[in-house]
Amino acid sequence: MGRVGEKLGIDFVISTGDDFYKNGLKGLHDQAFEESFTDIYTAKSLQKPWYLVLGNHDYRGNSLAQLSPVLRKIDDRFICMRSFIVNAELVDFFFVDTTPFQLEYWTHPGKHHYDWRGVAPRGKYIANLLKDLDVAMKKSTARWKIVVGHHTMRSVSEHGDTEELLKLLLPVLKDNGVDFYINGHDHCLEHISSRDSPLQYFTSGGGSKAWRGIFRPNKDKLRFFYDGQGFMSLQLNQDRAHFIFYDVFGNILYQWSSSKTGHPRTSTYLDEE
């Protein structure tokens, strides 16, 4: 990641959640923060802002500690919030807290404890989140709109599709012309194209515990699937988005581009394999 980051001259890094495995942070002074973040991403090119969402494993720890601005005093790169927007002029990144959507975590947590402080009751939290997201997207004048969440919307790997997101979140994305949905959760790399909208789904969850050996195709168009570890880069300009998936050594596994022509509100998409 460091070498690729240097080559591309990156502006910032995005983490798609499950930042601290396996049960989040115990508190503000948990050594896991340094062991899993500060001491790992030491390359000069990665000394940029990191924007992070919570994953389900983060919710199994002290989620309020992980969201605390105190962590930014320990490492000023670390910017983690529940749901927020990063405005980068030609693109708006909408970070969405997807863990509360999954009903199973609430009704059948099993041996796990989820830290729902600041979230419960679920229905009200999700309704407010979707309303705020819709309003923010309608106000956005950015050329590109990208949503980042932890959970899969579409996936052919172990977790597969997240039905609650397809039912509740996806309509908001389609209604507001979102270009890309980027997620983690499944421990692999994927690119899936929606068959009924221009929306593209990218899974970048290959940080660890990969090689699951599970493949479950769905009805959308699978363009790329790598059941292993790696990461993704995205380069954007006014007219083109260029995605690259890499393995752990920085070798390019797959790349894909999308071009926009015309006025932002009446864009036509030109896929480039």
For residue 171, the surrounding DSSP H or E stretch is helix 170-175
Of 235, 224, 228, nearest to 249 (Cα)? 228
Please tell me whether 187 is known to bind a ligand: yes
Q: Which residues are catalytic?
A: 159
Residue 179 has which token pair? 């270009």
Q: How far apart are CA 229 and CA 241, in angstroms?
A: 23
Is 114 part of any known ligand binding site? no
Cα–Cα distance measured from residue 38 to residue 13, given in angstroms and rounded to the nearest whole number: 14
Angle at 163 between CA 161 and CA 167, to 5 degrees: 130
Q: d(Cα 45, Cα 75) in Å, to the nearest integer?
A: 15
Residue 21 annotated as part of some ligand binding site: yes
If DSSP states are collapsed to H, E and C, what string results for 208-226?
CCCCCCCCCCCCCEEEEEE
Q: Please tell me whether 242 is known to bind a ligand.
A: no
Binding residues: 18, 21, 56, 150, 185, 187
Binding residues for Fe cation: 18, 21, 56, 150, 185, 187
